[in-house]
Amino acid sequence: MLYKRLSQLSREEKDKLINRGGELADVGETVASIIRDVRDNGDEALRSYTKKFDRAEIEDIEVSPEEVDEAISSIDGSLLEHLKFAAENIRKFHQAQMPEGMWFMELSPGIELGQKFTPLESVGAYVPGGRASYPSTALMTIIPARVAGVKHVAMCTPPGPDGKINSLALAAARIAGADHIYKLGGVQAVAAMAYGTESVRPVSKIVGPGNVFVTAAKMQVRDKAEIDFPAGPSEVLIIADDSSDAVMAASDIIAQAEHDPNAVSVFVTPSKELAEQVYREVLEQAARAVRSDIVNASLENAAVLIADSMESCIEFSNDFAPEHLEIMVADTDSVLNYIDNAGSVFVGNYAPVPVGDYASGTNHVLPTAGYAKIYSGLNILHFLKCSSIQKISKKGLETLKDAVISIAEEEGLMAHAESIRTRFRN
């Protein structure tokens, strides 16, 4: 774990932090080969790659309703209620995001302009597996699609070696409202959702996080299906001052680190004393972490940085553009107001990232690797199309005709100009 003054970072150290996640190009050829195979050979390729990568032999690619029923019956009742509680909070937050279905404004007499929002026809939700199962991601990806009114929602998630999907993930998919659940992970799942196979219906858009291979696959299939954004290994940046608690801050770093060996955790503060406390506490908590092998591997990507001022902390954060940003300072608004780039922001000592991961209601599918500079986290607008509308009378067109004719003729599009003139001839 890097422990250093922010102003003393070498070019290589800063570049490693800011320009993280550059592995997409490294896996591009492998990903393209798998996509071509799935496109050309359909279910046969899907079964082959599932056996190769997930060590599972599957006959039926789609999960049956009976399998989902069996999974739900095996889950502890209180855990199921907690899942439903989280689902309801996620539903409420995304319902609040819904724009007005259609609206109009009068630009001038005879000219009404408006917008109409329409849900996408179909969406595929990718829910990671592998080191852990993520029923929460099923809720985060499927519920907003349903709230938006998407007609067909499918979920892909990798099976275990026994060919089955985690019971809680199946329960979450049922609670969220998935139409189809497929026992597919990795590049092959993305390819199947984009191009379709004998068993998998193609979708208009693919959403959800994944490893570098999944992210690269999403980027490569955009000629067939739109995606949300690149969402790779998870990350957190914490801005703190002397008012924060070192044990809490360290626990948030460990929580982030246990996701994945490639997860990134950064703590930045103007307080040298706090930085020292957090650094020591992280090492102590890492030593007793349940997933200590993953945590310690991830801490190779971590940093505790001492800034010259709070302004320097904010500047670094906006440059870093974290997936998750925690603000643990006395005057939270003095920092929040100057944050430009962050996937999701957690304000105060009692707003750790895990609340957003599971149950507060905000979405945890977020841009990583600095993509928060140009992308928003998953929200209701990812599942809607927006059409502009114009209602224009002859009186309204008369106020526009001279400008339209003049500009059209200047561009050499004489038929455009004529389509206006013809409406004013007897």
pLDDT tens-digit map of 220-272: 999 999 999 988 889 999 999 999 999 999 999 999 999 889 899 999 999 99
Does the annotation place 167 within a ligand binding site?
no
pLDDT score at 22 = 67
b or e along 158-185 (b: 16 or more beta carbons within 10 Å of the residue's beta carbon)? bbeeebbbbbbbbbbbbbbbbbbbbbbb
Find the length of the chain: 426
> What confidence category does residue 23 fall into, taking pLDDT thresholds of 50, 70 and 90?
confident
pLDDT digits (tens, 9 = 90+) for 127-149: 998 666 789 999 999 999 999 99
Q: Residue 25: pLDDT above 90?
A: no
Q: What is the pLDDT of residue 131?
A: 62
- Annotated ligand binding at 382? The verdict is no
pLDDT confidence band for 24 (50 / 70 / 90): confident
What are 48-68's pLDDT values in tens digits?
999 999 999 999 999 999 999
315 close to 305: Cβ distance less than 8 angstroms: no
205-207 and 324-328 strand pairing: unpaired
What is the chain's mean pLDDT, rounded? 96
**How do beta strands 111-119 and 102-108 pair?**
antiparallel
Nearest to 325 by CA among 249, 254, 238, 241: 238
Side-chain-side CA neighbours of residue 368 (13 Å): 24
pLDDT exceeding 70 applies to what percent of the chain?
99
User: Which residues are part of the catalytic machinery?
Assistant: 323-324
State the Cα–Cα distance between residues 128 and 133, nearest whole angstrom.
Answer: 7
- Which band of pLDDT confidence, cut at 50, 70 and 90, is reported for residue 307? very high
- Position 284 scores a pLDDT of 97
Which of 223, 220, 191 lies closest to 38, judged by CA? 191
Q: Please, which pLDDT band fits residue 115 given cuts at 50, 70 and 90?
A: very high
**Residue of 276, 271, 124, 149 whose CA lies nearest to 207:** 124
- How do strand 122-126 and strand 152-157 relate by DSSP bridges? parallel
Q: How far is CA 95 from the centre of its chain?
A: 18
Q: Is 188 annotated as a binding residue?
A: yes
256 appears as a binding residue in the annotation: yes
411 annotated among ligand-binding-site residues: yes
How large is the angle between the packed helices 135-148 and 77-97, nearest 10 degrees?
A: 40
337 known ligand binder: no
The answer to whether 241 is annotated as binding is no
Using alpha carbons only, give the angle 175, 181, 184 rounded to the nearest 5 degrees: 135
Across-strand partners of 269?
306
The predicted structure's pLDDT at residue 381: 97
pLDDT in the model for residue 232 = 81
| Statement: the pTM of the whole predicted model exceeds 0.85 | yes
Residues 6+ positions from 394 with CB-CB distance below 8 Å: 110, 423
* 234 labeled part of a ligand binding site: yes
Please name the fold of domain 2-21+233-361: Rossmann fold (3.40.50)
Residues of the chain with CATH 3.40.50.1980: 2-21+233-361, 24-227
How is residue 93 written in tokens?
């937050």
Residue matched to tokens 């809680």: 168
Q: How confident is the model at residue 21 (pLDDT cuts 50, 70, 90)?
A: confident
Closest CA to 187 of 43, 33, 31: 31
Residue (of 44, 410, 395) closest to 200 by Cα position: 44
Least Cα distance to 136 among 51, 67, 62, 234 occurs for 234
Lowest pLDDT segment from 21-25, 218-222, 376-380: 21-25
Q: Return the pLDDT at 368.
A: 94
Task: List the structure tokens of 322.
Answer: 């974290």
The predicted model gives 348-356 an average pLDDT of 97
- Name which of 22-36, 288-302, 346-360 the model is least confident about: 22-36
Q: What digits encode the pLDDT tens for the residues 65-82?
A: 999 999 999 999 999 999
- The CATH homologous superfamily for domain 24-227 is Nitrogenase molybdenum iron protein domain (3.40.50.1980)
Q: What number is the average pLDDT over the span 339-347?
A: 98
Nearest to 123 by CA among 387, 359, 388, 378: 378
Of the candidates 317, 326, 327, 328, which has an alpha carbon nearest to the alpha carbon of residue 370? Answer: 317
CB 181 within 8 A of CB 173: yes
Rounded Cα–Cα distance for residues 144 and 210 (Å): 19
